[in-house]
Amino acid sequence: MMNVDAIANLLLDWYAANARDLPWRRTRDPYAIWVSEVMLQQTQVATVIPYWERWMGRLPDVKSLAEASEQVILKLWEGLGYYRRARNLRLAARQIMQRSGGVFPSDLGGMLELPGVGRYTAGAVCSVAFDEPEPIVDGNVVRVLSRIEAVAGDPAEPSVNRQMWGWARQLVEAASVTGRAKACSHLNQALMELGATVCTPREPECTRCPLALECRAYRAGNPAGYPKARSTPRVTPRHFVVIVAEHEDLLCIRRRPDNAVNGGLWEFPNIEVNSPEADPSAIVRRLFGVRRVKPEPWCRVRHSITRYRITQHVHRVAFLGVRPATRAAGEWRTLEELRSLAFSAAHRRIVDRLGEANESAD
């Protein structure tokens, strides 16, 4: 049985002495905290800081976000991945403008009505901005709680996950009656902070942990054995042929459909192929309707998305004379124009390489 009162007080004491000074911790503005929480999902703090500062400089409030174009928000988000999160932020801002003239909801129910806002984000904004006793459970919190209680089950199992939320609620409610300032906000942030900095996945630093005496996994001598490891899905290779088509000083690019992965972002025309040996001439024919063109192999760009190990086989082709009407639904832009558009990470690397190649050719 978890000693919630003792753990809540230990966490609050530890947080008072050890909280990192992060830019979004210097404000109680729910909008600023909401943006930081969405950015921090699946992303390290150090990566998020410059993104958050750029975003807040350009879109400092709900109104400016609601009025921003999709390309502006995608460009500000470029490189963070999971672009649906950025588009949902804008949709939610528009909803807040319509329903309450830009006043951010201050209760869990109101937040859960916003597009893209789930239980975690709503709980984080409620507790951090408004000091409400709402729990949050993310990967860091799961790790800490699994170890404190030496949970044998898989946290992805609904029953175990419910247990996590139950403990997180008990802890934040215990904090709320301590009479300490910003207790709910600090309790939730302490749990996440402890998971991020002390109770880390592989080598938890139990000897400097405030919860060591309360931790069953530590007492059992096996803290890194929790939470129970999930079986990792099989890695799957995927190959794409990418065509960098040039006509005079223009390059052909296209915008990804809104409902696709990386929707709204730009990319060079490409087709997924079964084999890395696929004939790029046939790809040019399919994309541009042009025959008897032999594209030059140029580079490979490798990246991973979830279990997929993706290789982009990039070829260059220069069209002389009449510019082909693109079946790939592409647009022709200068390299300079490409720099101001939002690309998916792999295609951004191709843009960067084109820039480097141009500079070394000058």
- The residues that are catalytic are 37
Task: Pick between residue 2 and residue 310 the one whose CB is nearest to ligand SF4.
Answer: 2
* Interaction of residue 212 with ligand SF4, rule CB under 6 A: yes
d(CA 99, CA 141): 33
Q: Which of 198, 301, 342, 351 binds ligand SF4 (CB under 6 A)?
A: 198
* Interaction of residue 15 with ligand SF4, rule CB under 6 A: no
d(CA 263, CA 96): 23
Q: Which stretch binds ligand SF4 (CB under 6 A): 30-38, 197-205, 238-246, 255-263?
A: 197-205
Give the total of residues touching ligand SF4 (CB under 6 A).
14
* Interaction of residue 204 with ligand SF4, rule CB under 6 A: yes
Residue listed under structure tokens 């400089």:
57
* Interaction of residue 92 with ligand SF4, rule CB under 6 A: no
Q: How many CB atoms lie within 10 A of CB 84?
A: 17
Task: Pick between residue 144 and residue 184 the one whose CB is nearest to ligand SF4.
Answer: 144
Please list every residue from 106 through 145 that binds ligand SF4, using CB under 6 A.
Answer: 144
* Interaction of residue 175 with ligand SF4, rule CB under 6 A: no
Task: Pick between residue 40 and residue 209 the one whose CB is nearest to ligand SF4.
Answer: 209
Provide the token pair at 35: 């943006």
Task: Pick between residue 218 and residue 268 the one whose CB is nearest to ligand SF4.
Answer: 218
Least distance from ligand SF4 to the Cβ atom of residue 134, Å:
22
d(CA 242, CA 267): 9
Least distance from ligand SF4 to the Cβ atom of residue 53, Å:
31
Where b means 16+ CB within 10 Å and e means fewer, 149-161 reads: bbbeeebeeeebe
Rg (CA), the chain: 25
Which of 24, 102, 101, 21 minimizes the C-alpha distance to 61?
A: 102
* Interaction of residue 171 with ligand SF4, rule CB under 6 A: no
* Interaction of residue 196 with ligand SF4, rule CB under 6 A: no
Which of 264, 221, 273, 218 minimizes the C-alpha distance to 243?
A: 273
Q: Which of 114, 122, 199, 328 binds ligand SF4 (CB under 6 A)?
A: 199
Cβ(195)–Cβ(19) under 8 Å? no
d(CA 352, CA 342): 12
Four-residue CA torsion sign, 332, 337, 338, 342: negative
- Can you state the angle between helices 158-176 and 4-18, rounded to 10 degrees? 70
Task: Pick between residue 216 and residue 255 the one whose CB is nearest to ligand SF4.
Answer: 216
Residue listed under structure tokens 């459970």:
137
Q: Which of 11, 12, 114, 217 binds ligand SF4 (CB under 6 A)?
A: 217
The answer for residues whose C-beta is within 8 angstroms of residue 329's C-beta and 6 or more apart is 254
Task: Pick between residue 148 and residue 354 the one whose CB is nearest to ligand SF4.
Answer: 148
Q: Which of 147, 186, 239, 313 binds ligand SF4 (CB under 6 A)?
A: 147
Q: Which stretch binds ligand SF4 (CB under 6 A): 20-28, 51-59, 212-220, 314-322?
A: 212-220
Q: Which stretch binds ligand SF4 (CB under 6 A): 35-43, 196-204, 257-265, 274-282?
A: 196-204
Provide the token pair at 115: 């597009």
Longest CA–CA span in the chain (Å) reads 77
The contact set with ligand SF4 (CB under 6 A) reads 144, 147-148, 198-199, 204, 206, 209, 211-212, 215, 217-218, 223
